[in-house]
A and B are shown apart, each in its own frame.
Chain A
Amino acid sequence: MDKMILYFFTTAALAVGLSLVAYVWYGVTRSRFAGQAATMLAGVATVALVLHLVMRWTVAGHAPWSNQFEFASAFATSIMVGNMVAERAYHDRRINLFIVPIAFLLLLYAALLPDSVKVAGPLIPALQNSLLLTIHVSSAVMAYGVFAISFAGAVIYLVQGGPRNRIAWLPTAEVAEDLAHKAVMVAVPLQALVLTLGAWWASIAWSRPWAWDPKETAALTTFLVYVVYLHARNQRGWRGTPSTLILIAGFGATLFTFFGNYFLGGLHTYSGL
């Protein structure tokens, strides 16, 4: 069964890679066939990723996001789902060109992790809380995935040089900014939910809702960066490039929180990975 699960993971990673090639092909040639192939491959990848998580869940008997490998896979799944939503909402596949590479890099990172964490395994006692593991971490998976979408929008905006729209074959800065802002509008309440459920869980398992554990502090930092963005975006002098740069910092904070297990220490580091 473990082999079967990894087979789905590999299939998904390959499909994401191929869809990326197709999106690039579409971006360059605007070929209808390339566009449809990209969408189809992204769809296959998303389905395979979801099935991979479902199988892990079934085998391990707990939500499949209890180590770096599982979280990275779930993070990539969330981005690919967001990718499909963005494609349907904006009808512009050139946007996806900036979203899919993030998912691909995450899957590459997951693939390079040691084999020991790739096998669905039992939980350590601190994580043995089925309800909260499921909802606290899944909120984080979704929030991070949507933050990645906002990052993609911010990158397009900056590449376009803002309203100057330097590159004709890319989506306009206005569309990119709208995408980035809408994504933040979805992800900020989700991140608030992550912090709230985390505090609730910490109150049960660690005896206090908040204790400035490095990982929880990093998650709060991420949240605050996006709060700053939401306020700055409406201020004269901050609109446009400055507030978009905050989005780049925000995704930096998201990745810092995610990879923090390597260097932050504290109670969220379970067996290093």
Chain B
Amino acid sequence: MDLVQVAGAAALAPPRRRDVYDVVWDLLTSVRIAITLILLLTATAFVGSLLIQPVQTVDPRLITDPVQHAQFLEFAKQRYGFLAGALAPLWLRDATVYAMDAVNLFDVFNALWFRALLVVLACSVTMCTLNRLEPVWRTLRSPVVRRSDRYYETARLRRVLSAVPAERIRAVLARNRYRLYQQEDGAMYFLGDRNAWARAGTLASHTALLLLILGGAVGTLFGFKEDLAIPNGASLPVYPVGATNNITVRNESFVAQFRDDGSPADYYSDLVLVQNGVEVARQRVRVNEPLRYAGLAFHQSSFGPAADVEVRDAASGRVIFSQIVNFFDAVQGVPVDRETLPTNDDLFVMLPPRATPFLAAQIYKGDALQGVAAIEIGSSQQIGDYLVTFRGPTQYTVIRVARNAGESLLLVAAVLFIGGVLATFWFPRRRLWIRADERSTVVTGAGDRTFDLDGELDRLVTELA
């Protein structure tokens, strides 16, 4: 009587109130939420590949520099204003682009909300995986050899044979590479477990995702990247974060070869690395052959035209500027550059593409043009107060110095993911529960969703009979 009352009281007791932890737990362990998060990530990646992302494809300053960003938005209005609708008034088209910019659609992969999405997804995947770990572990550690009598009678997939000797059952299961467990209790009970190890596949592929996100974060936080534009024969120092000794890169010579149609056939830089006054490495660096030294990689990134220029004070003959000018910009295909002289006047130079190149030079005092000259190779011309010499054309090579942190994590993640997915899909776990006595043998089982257990039972029954 007492027992009944206690049981009744328990049944009637109000269920424990779900607190905020329960809600968070349910959300994080829900596969549906995980799917939704991956869908959001997919949609973001899709948008990011459709809309121009200046940081990745053009120039980060279009996002970071306020003036250039304003210019970029003007361009974006022309290009993406139509998203407001074909008939939308101008202000709505502009507002649409401003709204897109406000939610970082032109720099989605660096947006805070995108990173937050990755973190939430990482948590969700971790929780979903941990949530499934315990039951999987249990079936691996304590296999159930004998199931309830009712199971052998009612299992969805079952085959009933006449009595089969235990020896033959063991032989057939062994031949089919099942791990065998057995127990005697009136009848003989067998459990055949195949590919149990493959259960770790899901764990591996989901751990891979976490490592990917972690590797990406490590790369962002601890990586180092610097572009050095080095004219032929010149040297530039590298200052990797955390390096004890600075390294100097010398570009001994840069060579670019072109085919008849103007496409590049090959280009390379002969680089020399000097550390503490000692040469430590030397290599011909191509796009696909970077120079690696002390955890840094020196990549052939790009190249451009340069000019060897000297400027003297015309009155005194004193040299006030003598260096190789790199043409980073071009106006209508003509390389241009502006240098500020020590006198605060500006030297503006152009290198028109000609069979025999000449340097077009201008001198500005503030906005006022002082003079213009076309200077042949090896000659000088006076422009305003200056004597400008064009010693000759040359080239600069852009060497990207990079240290990629977290790359080993990415490699481990890739191996874990591919291995995990292959194990899950192509080594499906299947378990057979067999009860054998003098009268009959019942064969039942369970298998992963990708496995045709019905067919397997048919095959085994033929072998057993």
A: residues with CB less than 8 A from B are: 122, 124-126, 128-129, 132, 181, 185, 188-189, 192-193, 195-196, 199-200, 203-215, 217-218, 220-221, 224-225, 227-228, 231-232, 234-235, 253, 260, 264-267, 271
Q: Which residues of A contact B402 (CB under 8 A)?
A: 207-208
Instruction: Tell me if B288 and A204 are in contact (CB < 8 A).
Output: yes
How far in angstroms is the closest Cβ of chain B from A1?
Answer: 19
Instruction: Tell me if A234 and B418 are in contact (CB < 8 A).
Output: no
Q: What is the CA–CA distance of A217 and B449 in the complex, to the nearest angstrom?
A: 31
Using A212-B53, A217-B48 as known contacts, list a sample of 16 further A-B pairs with CB atoms less than 8 Å apart, ordered by residue number in A: A126-B288, A128-B266, A128-B287, A185-B425, A189-B418, A203-B407, A205-B288, A205-B299, A207-B297, A208-B223, A210-B219, A213-B56, A214-B50, A221-B45, A235-B32, A267-B57
Q: Which residues of B contact A189 (CB under 8 A)?
A: 418, 421-422, 425
Q: Which residues of A contact B225 (CB under 8 A)?
A: 207-208
Instruction: Tell me if A192 and B421 are in contact (CB < 8 A).
Output: yes
Which 4 residue pairs across A and B have the least CB separation, nearest first?
Answer: A196-B414, A217-B49, A224-B42, A129-B288
Q: Which residues of B contact A124 (CB under 8 A)?
A: 263-264
Q: Which residues of B contact A193 (CB under 8 A)?
A: 418
Instruction: Tell me if A125 and B286 are in contact (CB < 8 A).
Output: yes
Instruction: Tell me if B38 and A231 are in contact (CB < 8 A).
Output: yes
| Interface: B265 (CB within 8 A) | yes
Instruction: Tell me if B418 and A266 are in contact (CB < 8 A).
Output: no
Cβ contact of A211, chosen from B34, B41, B56, B414, cutoff 8 A = B56
**B-side interface residues, number (CB < 8 Å):** 50
How far in angstroms is the closest Cβ of chain A from B343?
Answer: 39
Q: Which residues of A contact B216 (CB under 8 A)?
A: 210
Q: Is the interface of A mostly helix, strand, loop or mixed?
A: helix
Task: Mark B408-442 against chain A: 1 for CB-CB distance below 8 A, else 0.
Answer: 00110010011001100110000000000000000
Known: A125-B264, A213-B56, A260-B49. A232 touches B425 (CB 8 A): no
Q: Which residues of A contact B52 (CB under 8 A)?
A: 265
| Interface: B21 (CB within 8 A) | no
How far in angstroms is the closest Cβ of chain B from A133?
Answer: 9
Instruction: Tell me if A266 and B57 are in contact (CB < 8 A).
Output: yes
B: residues with CB less than 8 A from A are: 31-32, 34-35, 38-39, 41-42, 45-46, 48-50, 52-53, 56-57, 109, 216, 219, 223, 225, 259, 263-267, 286-288, 290, 297, 299, 301, 400, 402, 404, 407, 410-411, 414, 417-418, 421-422, 425-426, 449-450
Instruction: Tell me if A207 and B400 are in contact (CB < 8 A).
Output: yes
How far in angstroms is the closest Cβ of chain A from B227?
Answer: 9
How far in angstroms is the closest Cβ of chain B from A139?
Answer: 11
Q: What is the CA–CA distance of A189 and B411 in the complex, to the nearest angstrom?
A: 15
Instruction: Tell me if A228 and B410 are in contact (CB < 8 A).
Output: no
Cβ contact of A228, chosen from B39, B400, B449, cutoff 8 A = B39
How far in angstroms is the closest Cβ of chain B from A105?
Answer: 23
Q: Which residue of A lies closest to B268 (CB)?
A: A125
Q: Which residues of A contact B301 (CB under 8 A)?
A: 207
Known: A207-B301, A212-B48, A224-B45. A185 touches B450 (CB 8 A): yes
Instruction: Tell me if B42 and A225 are in contact (CB < 8 A).
Output: yes
Q: Can you give 22 A-B contacts (C-beta < 8 A)? A: A125-B286, A129-B288, A185-B425, A189-B425, A196-B418, A205-B288, A207-B400, A207-B404, A208-B223, A209-B410, A210-B216, A210-B219, A211-B56, A218-B45, A220-B45, A224-B42, A225-B42, A227-B38, A235-B31, A253-B46, A265-B57, A271-B263
Q: What is the CA–CA distance of A262 and B48 in the complex, to the nearest angstrom?
A: 16
Q: Is the interface of B mostly helix, strand, loop or mixed?
A: helix
Q: Which residues of A contact B259 (CB under 8 A)?
A: 122
How far in angstroms is the closest Cβ of chain B from A15?
Answer: 32
Instruction: Tell me if B449 and A128 are in contact (CB < 8 A).
Output: no
Q: What is the CA–CA distance of A60 and B287 in the complex, to the nearest angstrom?
A: 20
Instruction: Tell me if A207 and B290 are in contact (CB < 8 A).
Output: yes
Q: Which residues of B contact A195 (CB under 8 A)?
A: 414
Q: Which residues of A contact B426 (CB under 8 A)?
A: 185
Q: What is the CA–CA distance of A213 and B299 in the complex, to the nearest angstrom?
A: 18
Known: A125-B286, A208-B404, A232-B35. A214 touches B49 (CB 8 A): yes
Give the one of B34, B42, B266 with max A CB within 10 A: B42
Cβ contact of B290, chosen from A204, A220, A224, cutoff 8 A = A204
Q: What is the CA–CA distance of A209 and B223 in the complex, to the nearest angstrom?
A: 11
Q: Which residues of B contact A128 (CB under 8 A)?
A: 266, 286-288
Q: Which residues of B contact A266 (CB under 8 A)?
A: 56-57
How far in angstroms is the closest Cβ of chain B from A221?
Answer: 4
Q: Which residues of B contact A220 (CB under 8 A)?
A: 45
Known: A189-B422, A221-B45, A231-B31. A214 touches B57 (CB 8 A): yes
Q: Which residues of A contact B109 (CB under 8 A)?
A: 212
Q: What is the CA–CA distance of A221 and B57 in the complex, to the nearest angstrom?
A: 18
Q: Which residue of A lies closest to B425 (CB)?
A: A185
Q: What is the CA–CA distance of A159 and B155 in the complex, to the nearest angstrom?
A: 34
How far in angstroms is the closest Cβ of chain B from A71?
Answer: 18
Q: Which residues of B contact A227 (CB under 8 A)?
A: 38
Instruction: Tell me if A122 and B265 are in contact (CB < 8 A).
Output: yes
How far in angstroms is the closest Cβ of chain B from A240?
Answer: 14
Instruction: Tell me if B417 and A192 are in contact (CB < 8 A).
Output: yes
Q: Which residues of A contact B48 (CB under 8 A)?
A: 212, 214, 217
Known: A231-B31, A235-B32. A125 touches B288 (CB 8 A): yes
Q: Which residues of B contact A253 (CB under 8 A)?
A: 46
How far in angstroms is the closest Cβ of chain B from A63?
Answer: 14
Q: What is the CA–CA distance of A204 and B300 in the complex, to the nearest angstrom?
A: 10
Instruction: Tell me if B263 and A221 are in contact (CB < 8 A).
Output: no
Cβ contact of B35, chosen from A203, A235, A260, cutoff 8 A = A235
Q: Which residues of A contact B290 (CB under 8 A)?
A: 204, 207
Q: Which residues of A contact B297 (CB under 8 A)?
A: 207
Q: Which residues of A contact B267 (CB under 8 A)?
A: 125
Q: What is the CA–CA distance of A100 and B411 in the complex, to the nearest angstrom?
A: 37
